[in-house]
Structure 1
Amino acid sequence: MSSAAKTPATDAVAATAKTDASGPQPQPGVGKAVVLVSGGLDSTTVLAMARQQGYECYTLSFDYGQRHRAELAAAERTSLAMGAAAHKVVALDLASIGGSALTDMSIAVPEEETSGIPVTYVPARNTVFLSIALGWAEVLQAQKIFVGVNAVDYSGYPDCRPEYIAAFETMANLATKAGVEGQRLTIEAPLIHMTKAEIVQAGVALGVDYALTVSCYQADAEGRACGKCDSCRLRRQGFQQAGLTDPTLYVCQAAI
């Protein structure tokens, strides 16, 4: 049985992870950080960056009714591999409100580039995720929340922009006991101005094993990518532009 199978996605109890002795270790005085992880390329790179800065990282994923569960397994896998202090999965039901190809199986995932905000946008997803991360950060007495949003090579999602992150951080410090009492909370989005190629290069330099990650919007049960969706296209272009080999496994490798 896989590690992911042993930790049900509906379990909101933190699973203690084994520290990777070969990776960057938390530095005294740096403190704790909550890191949002999806099992994909961007969030895994952010986790590596937070670890490199010396934070004791507590990773957080969501079982929110997404199309596939392969990303949840990848999130746990990458968290364990990169020495997270604990990994938590919170169950939500964003599928009940629908409105996205990632939560409503009647809406097809687009396999060609489209104009405007695509149907893979999940209404208010980052706001919901960051709000829960904010709550856990207060409980942990962590003053940093790391998130892998990107405003350069992305699909046009409104909740991936710098002004959104700045607005959420302002709200976080108005709405929490920690913020009101002077323990300022910071939302760290280190990838926000980076291209996908720059993200890949940064992750490789930090020792990220991208073979552990799953980026595809419609990966199969084994985590193999479709090679056709926006996420697959952006990932593939990033590795090509970085001059590096993409370790992604595809449902149909010959078609890529």
Structure 2
Amino acid sequence: MRKEKAVVVFSGGQDSTTCLVWALQEFAEVETVTFHYNQRHQLETEVAGKIAKKLNVKNHLLDMSLLNQLAPNALTRDEMEIKMNEDGLPSTFVPGRNLVFLSFASILAYQIGARHIVTGVCETDFSGYPDCRDSFIKSCNVTVNLAMDKPFVIHTPLMWLNKKETWKLADELHALDLVRNETLTCYNGIIADGCGECPACVLRKNGLNEYLHEKGGN
């Protein structure tokens, strides 16, 4: 018997789309929440809406433009170069983004009667983002439960998977073609295989090639 109702934090990218398909098999009812914060690739919100519609899932689009004002970075400013900063964090790091997203996803879950929240963060290929770590997720889960006095459960199905294993999971969920051809991961806003050069595309491409090579050898 499938569990209750879930909210998926959904960007329309490889990871969140894989999580959405996973959630649709795990939960009786699923809705998604997409955040608009004037991100570098505005197409992201459109892609998220199209995929949600295709999978017959209600998508909530929330305006988080204040995040753009507070945290200028390469994801929110076209003129900023995508690179590794001196502090060891990539210039695409948005301080507190997942903290804000999970807080608002929890508020939405409270309002629509969902107890489960699903997010595609991953510590294995987390690019140095501190708010993608398992320790942060566990801490955040405790915090939102205390803040709203509700027993929310934050699920991270990709937490310990590398990109090759994430592609494998998508394939096992019968969603490989969907994830490969209709998602947007590229920092330059190109759907599917993307530009092939930005860090997100390189990670995605290498993982896919590794998985297809492994699959072909079996």
Q: If you compute each CA radius of gyration, which structure gives the higher value, 1 or 2?
A: 1
Percent identity, please.
Answer: 34
1:65 aligns with 2:32: no
Aligned-residue offset at 1:224? 7.2
Tell me by how many angstroms 1:116 deviates: 1.8
Q: Is the 8 A contact 2:6 2:27 kept in 1?
A: no
Residues in 2 aligned to 1:203 and 1:144: alpha-carbon distance in whole angstroms: 21
Cα pair 2:144 2:152 within 8 Å, conserved: yes
Name 1:95's counterpart in structure 2.
68
Contact 2:167 2:207 in 1 (8 A): yes
Residues of 1 paired with 2:96 and 2:86: CA distance? 21
Name the counterpart of 1:229. Answer: 198
Letter in 1 for 2:147: A
Match of 1:119? 91
Q: Which runs of 5 or more structure 1 residues have no equivalent in the other structure? A: 1-26, 245-256
- The equivalent position to 1:136 in structure 2, one of 89, 93, 108, is 108
Q: Does 1:188 align with 2:161?
A: no
Higher helix share: 2
Distance of 1:234 and 1:42 partners within structure 2: 12
* 3-state SS of 2:3 partner: coil
1:217 aligns with 2:190: no
2:168 to 172, 177, 201: 201
1:139 deviates by 0.7
Q: Which residue is equivalent to 2:4?
A: 31
State whether residues 218 and 225 of structure 1, in contact with CA within 8 Å, keep that contact through their aligned partners in structure 2: yes
The equivalent residue for 1:156 is: 128
Classify 1:202/1:234 alpha carbon distance in 2 versus 1 (closer, same or farther; 3 Å). Answer: same
Deviations 1:197-233 (A, max 9, x none): 111111122122121101011215x777221111101
Unaligned runs of 5+ in 2: 214-218
Aligned residues: 210
CA contact (8 A) 2:15 2:120 kept: yes
Letter in 1 for 2:157: P
Q: Is contact 1:37-1:61 (8 Å) kept?
A: yes
Structure 1 residue ranges (4+ consecutive) displaced by more than 3 angstroms after TM superposition? 112-115
**Are residues 80 and 207 of structure 1, via their aligned partners in 2, closer, same or farther at CA, if it must alter by over 3 Å?**
farther
Q: Give, in whole Å, the separation in 2 of the partners of 1:107 and 1:97.
A: 15
Q: Identify the match of residue 240 of structure 1 among 203, 209, 215.
A: 209
Q: 1:98 to 1:104 in 2, by over 3 A?
A: farther
1:62-102 CA distances to partner (integer Å, 9 max, x unpaired)?
11010121211111122122231x11100111221233100
Cα 1:168–1:60, aligned 2, differ >3 Å: closer, same or farther? same
Is this contact kept in 2: 1:62–1:90, CA < 8 A? yes
Cα RMSD, aligned residues only? 2.1
Q: 1:23-74 CA deviation, whole Å, 9 max, x = no partner?
A: xxxx6x6211010010100000001111111331110001101012121111
Q: CA separation in 2, counterparts of 1:41 and 1:197? A: 12
C-alpha distance 126-79 of structure 1, shift in aligned 2 (>3 A): same
Task: Classify the secondary structure of the residue corresponding to 1:31.
Answer: strand
Distance across 1 between alignment mates of 2:125 and 2:29: 29
Whether the 8 Å contact between 1:113 and 1:230 is mirrored in structure 2 is: no
